[in-house]
C-alpha cells in the first residue's frame, strides 16, 4: 500500500507542476495550441527512457553514458518514431 501512496503522491506533485506552468502561461497570454509544459515534457522523457523517476535512478542513467543525459532533453513526442 505504501508504494501506491508514493506513486500517487508523485503523480499529484507532477500534475501540480504542470498546472502551475499552465496558469503562468495563461497569465502571460502565451497559452496557445503550440504551448507545451516543459515539466511534462521532461517527465515524459524520463518515463520513456527509465520508467522510474527517483533521483538516484535519473542520476545513475545520466552517469551511465554520455549520451543518456541528452536523451532526457529530447522531444518526448518523437521518441521511438
Domain locations in the chain as residue ranges: 2-71
pTM: 0.73
Contact (Cβ atoms closer than 8 angstroms) between residue 18 and residue 40? yes
22-46 per-position pLDDT tens digit: 999 999 999 999 999 999 998 888 8
49-80 per-position pLDDT tens digit: 887 777 778 788 888 887 888 888 888 888 77
For 44, half-sphere exposure in the C-beta direction (CA atoms, 13 angstrom radius) is 14
Query: Residue 31 phi/psi, 5° resolution?
Result: -80, 115
Amino acid at each position: 500500500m505504501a508504494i501506491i501512496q508514493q506513486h500517487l503522491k508523485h503523480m499529484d506533485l507532477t500534475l501540480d507542476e504542470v498546472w502551475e506552468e499552465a496558469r503562468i502561461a495563461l497569465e502571460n497570454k502565451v497559452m496557445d495550441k503550440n504551448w507545451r509544459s516543459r515539466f511534462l515534457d521532461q517527465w515524459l522523457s524520463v518515463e520513456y527512457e527509465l520508467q522510474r523517476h527517483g533521483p538516484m535512478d535519473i542520476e545513475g542513467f545520466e552517469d551511465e553514458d554520455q549520451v543518456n543525459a541528452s536523451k532526457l532533453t529530447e522531444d518526448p513526442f518523437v521518441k521511438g518514431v
